[in-house]
């Protein structure tokens, strides 16, 4: 960015000048913190909530007392409230550093709907001069900005011309090289924060293991005692992980079982285009693509359509999602493996942010892990070991016969119960088979055929099938020719898949298989190989529809949703910005008769009561 991009006169500091030598014009001097009554009133009047959830109160209390904090909270736990509520209560502006313009604009809509004075400073904004004047005049509670701008000296000068109440750093795992979504620009924020030492810092993330948390604290200058970690569990999400047999057929089933909005993640742009077209034809639902190769206008239009919809499906690369603050996503399906458990947790966490039942389905194949292990050699040497560990952890999650949720939560340092009752392995317990001997046969055949042939050829050798290729290469004379027992043939592919997932078998440059990882230990009987055996009976699939919190065939609830849709269209905002489904459910159940009664419904704050109260009461009175 250069000076021409910045719409106000300022002095630009050179790279070697230390901005913090000049004291800012405004100092943060915390006044007496608001009383519990004042906090409770603001919580209800602005957000429509009668109380805090989880660790929200702890985080808000620290902020209101001027203490810097790193809050690790799961998606859907209400992270934004921990800075939006203080922004309403404190004197001055809360500056929010956020990684994506789409995310900022989404949060801006929700904040404005609650009566919060908020604005963004991004390249997509046409009224930046007006925003800057509002900021200087103290007329903003929230100012959202990207890290690329926030780290510039001229932005620091702008901040010195107003009163700053709080720095909130969203998606704070981006600051850490240990984080799964490292963004170098986040590493440049420290000078900005240090230039305003009296202003507290609030870092927020949903995905940070022990290494990442420690690095975030160091990089952002937050004391270790400022760490608050909420539980990582998302009990409303049902996890299911299945071998990929026919991605189109399997994802079509997921879409048909879950009538609400959904996201399908595909590994490549080409696959996104293909799946979007095929799924739209196969399901009759509106299905649109999203990836970085699309024209920006098309991308923005598709994203806006998804955010505003109540039943659309978006097929996308992982570039899509972080910028979406959509609470009513009912399912997330992966057509291939994510980068890591951290990425999986974050991506699946985009489902069910409203707390209602949601589904997360991952389809995986041995080739996914083969490609991922090949890519390890392309990253910086100092990160290869940590990335290999991430991939191994993901393979363990995929291959486990135990509770998926327990494996997931243990990865983040928690000690969960052994079963959750809401994942595929708990709902339909699987068996475990010791296939070490068969794995040894397969590895031996790969080795003796020269570590250059694919599974199909190796399988023929093991099965004793002497086709032309086997005979030409003399593989019918090997000691491994025909050693496969009849009862081993049906599980050979599953064993090969498991060995590739754990890295014992690796792909060669020309599509063959070679020994890798712990293959030698397996051959020497120093390591065992276990595979999951699915139930013999047909899996009884449960859908979000089965567990849906919304009433079915309730004319009042349906009428309230219709009204919400009309109001959203008139206001040009997504329906959930008006009210969440949970708020409409409570209205349908309680039948409030007056504005005062309606104001006691969860999610109905003063601003929304004034704007929409009469319209919703009129619908309720008709029933």
Q: DSSP secondary structure string, 519-554?
A: HHHHHTTSS--EEEE--SSPP----HHHH-SSPSS-
Question: In terms of domains, do 159 and 217 share one?
Answer: yes
Question: In terms of domains, do 263 and 357 share one?
Answer: yes
Please state the separation of Cα 597 from the chain's center in Å.
36
- For residue 54, the enclosing domain spans 3-229
What CA–CA distance (Å, rounded) separates 108 from 113?
8
Question: In terms of domains, do 266 and 196 share one?
Answer: no
- Residues 567-593 have a mean pLDDT of 93
- Residues 180-196 have a mean pLDDT of 89
Instruction: Specify the CATH number for the domain of residue 565.
Output: 1.10.150.80
- Residues 367-373 have a mean pLDDT of 87
Question: In terms of domains, do 389 and 246 share one?
Answer: yes
- Residues 8-27 have a mean pLDDT of 37
**Is 541 within the bounds of a domain?**
no
φ and ψ at residue 187, rounded to 5 degrees: -70, -15
**Is 519 within the bounds of a domain?**
yes
The secondary structure of residue 33, as a DSSP letter, is P
**Is 542 within the bounds of a domain?**
no
Report the number of distinct structural domains present in the chain.
Answer: 4
Is 598 in contact with 587 (CB distance < 8 Å)? yes
**Is 567 within the bounds of a domain?**
yes
Question: In terms of domains, do 222 and 245 share one?
Answer: no
Structure confidence at residue 260 (pLDDT): 92
Last residue of a domain, one of 533, 559, 575: 533
Question: In terms of domains, do 61 and 187 share one?
Answer: yes
Is 384 in contact with 331 (CB distance < 8 Å)? no
pTM above 0.85, yes or no: no
**Exposed (0-12), middle (13-18) or buried (19+): which is 431, by Cβ within 10 Å?**
exposed
> Nearest Cα to 109, choosing from 84, 92, 132?
84
Instruction: Specify the CATH number for the domain of residue 306.
Output: 3.40.50.300
Pairing of strands 313-316, 262-265: parallel
Structure confidence at residue 16 (pLDDT): 32
Lowest-pLDDT choice from 78-92, 120-134, 186-200: 120-134
**Is 408 within the bounds of a domain?**
yes
DSSP structure string for 298-342: HHHHHHHHHHH-SS-EEEE-TTSSTT---TT--EEEESS--SSHH
Question: In terms of domains, do 400 and 510 share one?
Answer: no
Q: CA dihedral in degrees (27, 33, 37, 39; nearest 10)?
A: 50
Strand-pairing partners, residue 355, are: none
Question: In terms of domains, do 420 and 444 share one?
Answer: no
Lowest-pLDDT choice from 21-30, 122-131, 136-145, 319-328: 21-30
Report percent pLDDT > 70 for the chain. 92
**Is 16 within the bounds of a domain?**
yes
Question: In terms of domains, do 267 and 366 share one?
Answer: yes
Instruction: Specify the CATH number for the domain of residue 470.
Output: 1.10.10.10
2 pLDDT band, cuts 50/70/90, is: very low
Average model confidence (pLDDT) for the chain? 88
- Residues 573-593 have a mean pLDDT of 94
Question: In terms of domains, do 374 and 461 share one?
Answer: no
Question: In terms of domains, do 217 and 194 share one?
Answer: yes
Question: In terms of domains, do 9 and 146 share one?
Answer: yes
Q: Select the more confidently predicted residue: 45 or 544.
A: 45
**Is 539 within the bounds of a domain?**
no
550 pLDDT band, cuts 50/70/90, is: confident
Last residue of a domain, one of 429, 445, 476: 429
């Amino acid at each position: 960015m250069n000076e021409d991009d910045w719409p106000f006169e300022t002095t630009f500091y050179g790279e070697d000048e230390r901005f913090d030598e000049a004291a800012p014009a405004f100092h943060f001097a915390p006044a007496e913190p608001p009383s519990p009554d004042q906090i409770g009133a603001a919580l209800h009047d602005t957000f429509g909530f009668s109380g805090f959830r989880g660790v929200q109160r702890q985080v808000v209390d620290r902020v209101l007392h001027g203490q810097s904090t790193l809050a690790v909270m799961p998606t859907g736990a209400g992270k934004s409230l921990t800075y939006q509520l203080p922004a309403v209560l404190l004197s001055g502006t809360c500056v929010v550093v956020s990684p994506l313009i789409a995310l900022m604009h989404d949060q801006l809509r929700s904040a404005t709907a609650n009566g919060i004075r908020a604005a963004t400073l991004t390249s997509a904004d046409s009224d930046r001069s007006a925003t800057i004047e509002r900021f200087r005049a103290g007329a903003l509670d929230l100012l959202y900005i990207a890290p690329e701008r926030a780290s510039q000296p001229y932005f620091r000068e702008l901040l010195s011309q107003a009163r700053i109440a709080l720095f909130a750093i969203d998606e704070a795992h981006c600051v850490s090289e240990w984080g799964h979504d490292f963004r170098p620009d986040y590493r440049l924020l420290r000078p900005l924060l240090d230039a305003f030492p009296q202003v507290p810092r609030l870092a927020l993330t949903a995905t940070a293991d022990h290494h990442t948390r420690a690095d975030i604290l160091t990089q952002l200058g937050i004391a270790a005692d400022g760490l608050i970690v909420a539980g990582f569990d998302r009990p409303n999400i049902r996890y299911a992980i299945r071998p990929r047999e026919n991605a189109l057929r399997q994802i079509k089933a997921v879409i048909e079982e879950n009538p609400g909005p959904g996201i399908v993640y595909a590994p490549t742009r080409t696959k996104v285009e293909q799946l979007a077209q095929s799924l739209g034809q196969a399901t009759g639902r509106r299905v649109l693509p999203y990836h970085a190769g699309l024209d920006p206008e098309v991308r923005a239009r598709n994203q806006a359509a998804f955010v505003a919809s109540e039943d659309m499906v978006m097929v996308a690369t992982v570039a899509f999602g972080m910028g979406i603050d959509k609470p009513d996503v009912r399912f997330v399906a992966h057509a291939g493996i994510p980068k890591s458990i951290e990425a999986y947790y974050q991506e699946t966490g985009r489902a069910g942010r409203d707390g209602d039942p949601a589904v997360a389905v991952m389809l995986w194949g041995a080739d996914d892990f083969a490609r991922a292990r090949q890519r390890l050699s392309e990253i910086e040497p100092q990160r290869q070991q940590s990335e290999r560990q991430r991939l191994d952890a993901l393979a363990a999650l995929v291959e486990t016969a135990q509770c998926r949720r327990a494996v997931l939560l243990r990865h983040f340092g928690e000690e969960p119960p052994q079963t959750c009752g809401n994942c595929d392995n708990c709902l339909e317990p699987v068996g475990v088979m010791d296939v070490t001997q068969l794995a040894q046969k397969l590895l031996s055949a790969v080795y003796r055929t020269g570590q250059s042939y694919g599974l199909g050829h190796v399988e023929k050798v093991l099965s004793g099938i002497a086709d032309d290729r086997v005979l030409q290469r003399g593989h019918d004379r090997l000691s491994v020719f025909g050693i496969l027992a009849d009862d081993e043939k049906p599980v050979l592919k599953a064993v090969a898949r498991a060995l590739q997932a754990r890295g014992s078998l690796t792909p060669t440059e020309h599509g063959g298989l070679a020994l890798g990882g712990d293959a030698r230990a397996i051959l020497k009987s120093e390591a065992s190989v276990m595979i999951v055996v699915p139930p013999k009976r047909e899996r009884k699939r449960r859908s979000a529809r089965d567990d849906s919190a919304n009433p079915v065939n309730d004319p009042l609830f349906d009428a309230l949703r219709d009204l919400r849709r009309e109001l959203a269209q008139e206001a040009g905002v997504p329906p959930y910005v008006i009210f969440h489904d949970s708020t409409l459910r409570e209205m349908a159940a309680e039948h409030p008769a007056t504005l005062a009664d309606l104001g006691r419904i969860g999610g109905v704050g003063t601003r929304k009561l004034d704007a929409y109260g009469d319209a919703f009461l009129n619908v309720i009175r008709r029933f």
